């Protein structure tokens, strides 16, 4: 089921990470088990100044973060209050580089949920080129009182 534009913006606004550290700016589709989001890297992103000057590439850890933030939206979309935090990362495979001007498409699938633990897998593509594959776990912490 496709999420409508207003719901997509509402859910996106609930993500705790905000610019310049939010690496998802569009929700393409969203349902209970899967989300597809996108982020376009601007030429002036702060990390390009020091990450391989003259040959800027997106840091791999930030590619992972883009998947984590996309997964957090999937958790928030379940309408349970709390803060999603990554608790385990495994099976990361970096296939290609992301560069300034590239648009990432992140697809995160909820593989299983046990209590407040969310088991997810994700991929990032630029066009039809696979950039990253990852399997990770996150926990939904209760809201602070």
Q: Given this model, what pLDDT does residue 78 score?
A: 73
Beta bridge partners of 136: 89, 120
* Domains identified in the chain, total number: 1
Intervals of the chain under pLDDT 70: 1-4, 7-8, 11, 14, 79, 145
Could you tell me the two tokens for 20?
A: 């310049």
CA-to-CA separations, 115 to 33, 79, 120, 129, 139, in angstroms, rounded: 16, 14, 14, 35, 9
Q: Given this model, what pLDDT does residue 52 score?
A: 74
Residues in the chain: 145
d(CA 78, CA 9) in angstroms, rounded, equals 15
Q: Given this model, what pLDDT does residue 88 score?
A: 97
d(CA 91, CA 106) in angstroms, rounded, equals 16
Residue carrying structure tokens 């594959």: 133
Q: Given this model, what pLDDT does residue 46 score?
A: 75
CA-to-CA separations, 127 to 37, 44, 78, 117, 144, in angstroms, rounded: 13, 21, 29, 31, 40
Q: Given this model, what pLDDT does residue 8 score?
A: 66
- Catalytic site residue from 51, 79, 96, 125: 51
CATH number of the domain that residue 87 is part of: 3.10.129.10
Residue carrying structure tokens 């209970």: 32
Q: Given this model, what pLDDT does residue 1 score?
A: 40
Could you tell me the two tokens for 49?
A: 């100044």
Domain that holds residue 14: 5-141
For the chain, give the mean pLDDT: 87
Told to judge if 51 belongs to the known catalytic residues of this protein, a careful annotator would answer yes
Please name the helix (run of DSSP H) or strand (run of DSSP E) that holds residue 115, with its range, or none.
none
Q: Given this model, what pLDDT does residue 83 score?
A: 85
């Amino acid at each position: 089921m496709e999420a409508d534009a207003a719901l997509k913006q509402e859910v996106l606004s609930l993500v705790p990470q905000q610019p310049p550290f939010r690496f998802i700016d569009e929700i393409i589709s969203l349902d209970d088990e899967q989300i597809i989001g996108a982020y376009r890297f601007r030429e002036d992103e702060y990390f390009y100044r020091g990450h391989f000057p003259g040959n800027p590439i997106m840091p791999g850890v930030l590619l992972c973060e883009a998947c984590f933030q996309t997964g957090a939206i999937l958790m928030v979309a379940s309408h349970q209050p709390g803060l999603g935090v990554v608790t385990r990362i495994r099976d990361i495979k970096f296939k290609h580089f992301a560069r300034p001007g590239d648009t990432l498409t992140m697809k995160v699938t909820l593989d299983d949920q046990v209590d407040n633990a969310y088991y997810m897998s994700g991929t990032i593509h630029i066009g039809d080129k696979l950039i990253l594959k990852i399997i990770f776990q996150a926990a939904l912490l209760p809201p602070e009182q």
